[in-house]
Amino acid sequence: MRRGWLCGARTVVIRLALGPVPILVAALWAAGCDISGQSSPLSAAPSEATYVLASAVKIRPIGGDSRELRVNSVWAQVGTVAQGVVYKPRDTVLTAEGFDVHEAYIVVSNGSCVGMWLPHEKSFVPLSTAAPIQWSGGT
């Protein structure tokens, strides 16, 4: 019976040489790769007033990748959560990305973007650092 190069004694040698390293690497990689939010129900706004972003804003949710909100992008106020006012992008799709990709809206409180609200998960994800935000006008 013929054995492949990873069968028999060689497989044992490779497994002993690597030990628990592959399992440890996989666990560490998976531990810090996704965003996690806290449940935060949305109270809908009576109307979707729109606003235009006056300058570009860079945001990064905890556990996720950085995003830049474009200057002159249009945002609609869709409601509020406990953490602030929720705005949905009107001319693009905003995503929060970690291990998975989630549709996201921004949450603004006291003139700063403080987090992202994930509409499908109905949860709030805080930013690593709040980012000042200015609107240039609205309807």
Confidence at residue 5, expressed as pLDDT on a 0 to 100 scale: 44
What residue segments make up the domains of the chain, in order of their start? Answer: 1-31, 38-138
At residue 100, the pLDDT reads: 87
DSSP single-letter state for residue 61:
B
For the chain, residues with pLDDT lower than 50 are: 2-16, 23-33
In 3-state terms, what secondary structure has residue 1?
coil
User: CA 99 to CA 29: how far, in whole Å?
Assistant: 10
Check if the beta carbon of residue 62 is closer than 8 Å to that of residue 127: yes
- Per residue in 94-116, pLDDT (tens digit) is 999 888 899 999 999 999 999 99
Q: pTM to 2 decimals?
A: 0.73
Residue 19 confidence (pLDDT): 56
